Structure 1
Amino acid sequence: MKKLALILCVCLCGFAAMADSPLNIGIHGGTSSNRINFKDLTSAIGSRAGQGYMIGAFMRINLGALYLEPALNFSHKKSIAEGIQPNAGEERPTITLKNNTFNIPVMVGLQLLDLSIAKLRVFVGPQYSVGKLKNLKELGNIDQNKSNWSGKVGVGLDIWKLTFDIDYEKGFNKIAHELKAPRSFNFTLGLKII
């Protein structure tokens, strides 16, 4: 029993030491709530948030209380466009807009609280995205930008090798002239491999 306790203690100390290393590499994934608003578009008068997902890999460079975290992610986001109600009593037509993108965020973070097993942190940074919005032709002849810049701000919690992040993302530029910059709330869970 003492040997088992000793082995367990050594393993836990090893995990804690790996979590504090100057370089962490890991994987993450999560869900998002996304919304795209419309401007001067006669075929759509409103929008609702849709659910999406994200998977990817990250690298965290720890610089004391500060850190730099670039990542490469694939995200699938949805937003629901509501059309004009055809007649009284009839339902409004809806179109689900799907946005598949590859994202490269580069976050700069600050650790606010550093306990032996948990770290509370905040982060902010830009994100470059390349992708295409599907089902856009159903709204009309819209020329879209295939690459966009956005910004993210959020809070995260690390418990040993697990990471939990909640962030708000806002586009800096429009997807198209008729589509305003997208917004989303993201919830991710990650695992530090190194």
Structure 2
Amino acid sequence: MKKILFTALVAASSLVSAQGIDFGAKAGVVFNANDGFWEGMDGVSKAEGSTGFQLGAVLRARFAGFYVQPELLYTQTTNEYDKGKVKKKSMDIPVGVGKRFLGIAHAQIGPTFSYYFEDKLNVGNFVNASQDQFGVGYHIGGGVQIKNLMFDLRYQKGFGKLTSEFVQGSSKYQTENTPQNINLSVTYLF
């Protein structure tokens, strides 16, 4: 039994080391397409998405013709409402499982875990009284890799709605949205 386990461990480690692990730096544009709303004392308005950005690090482990790609990304987006804008900042951890094909192309799918650490309203002196801090969603996408550069297009959507509450004296506003982004990025693999 020990010989079988030892042989399996040696085979698995040589497979991973033979296939390789890549590290990279990633930057991209985020097109925010939220379907949320703003609710306050003066009524309700629907959200419109806008363009944001993301920066971070990528690790890609290749094995048996597939790869696993966890990432750590700082993401900043904005939701636009009739009454103002809410800037959202988060740390996202997408974990993609993918496959390369045709020599340069790849496709992937997986979960995305998000920690939202700041919502900021650009109207008046409102204070962010509360906000949902954690979100889980999924992403699906593809791209091409040319030498050390990867170009990706990815659709990302949250499984649930996120709410934020803003207050100023007796005025109170609440936003609610389902995170939904299209990400266009470039990664440099070291």
TM-score range, shorter chain: 0.7 to 0.9
Aligned residue in 2 for 1:169: 156
Counting matched residue pairs gives 159
TM-score, normalization: structure 1? 0.73
- Contact kept, 8 Å, 1:36 with 1:179, in 2: the verdict is no
Report the counterpart of residue 101 of structure 1 in structure 2.
90
Matching residue of 2:100: 111
Residue 51 of structure 1 contacts residue 79 of structure 1 at CA under 8 Å; is this kept in 2? no
Over aligned residue pairs, what C-alpha RMSD do you find?
2.5
Per-residue deviation, residues 37-74 of structure 1 (Å, max 9, x unmatched)? 23583544222221100000000001132100001110
User: Equivalences for 1:30-109 in 2 at 5 Å?
Assistant: 30-39=28-37, 41-42=39-40, 43-82=43-82, 94-109=83-98
Question: Gapped runs of 5+ residues in structure 1?
Answer: 1-19, 83-93
Residues 181 and 33 from structure 1, CA distance in 2 versus in 1: closer, same or farther, beyond 3 angstroms? Answer: same
Range that drifts further, 134-143 or 150-159: 134-143
- Comparing 23-32 with 135-144, greater Cα deviation is found at 135-144
Q: 1:151 aligns with which of 126, 138, 147?
A: 138
Query: Is this contact kept in 2: 1:107–1:126, CA < 8 A?
Result: yes
Alpha-carbon distance in structure 2 between the residues aligned to 1:113 and 1:128: 30
Q: Deviations over 1:103-144 (max 9, x none)?
A: 111111111222xxxx10111111111123221887998742
Paired residues of 1:35 and 1:78 also in contact (CA < 8 A): no
Runs of 4+ in 1 over 2 A off after TM superposition: 35-44, 136-144
Task: Give the Cα–Cα distance (whole angstroms) in 1 for the partners of residues 179 and 146 of structure 2.
Answer: 31
Residue 130 (str. 1) matches residue 127 (str. 2):
no
1:179 aligned counterpart, secondary structure:
strand
Structure 2: tracts of 5 or more residues without a match: 1-17, 165-174
Q: Which moved more, 1:171-180 or 1:27-36?
A: 171-180
Q: Is contact 2:38-2:47 (8 Å) kept?
A: no
1:22 Cα shift? 1.2
Structure 1 residue 174: Cα displacement = 1.0
Over the matched positions of the two proteins, sequence identity in percent amounts to: 23
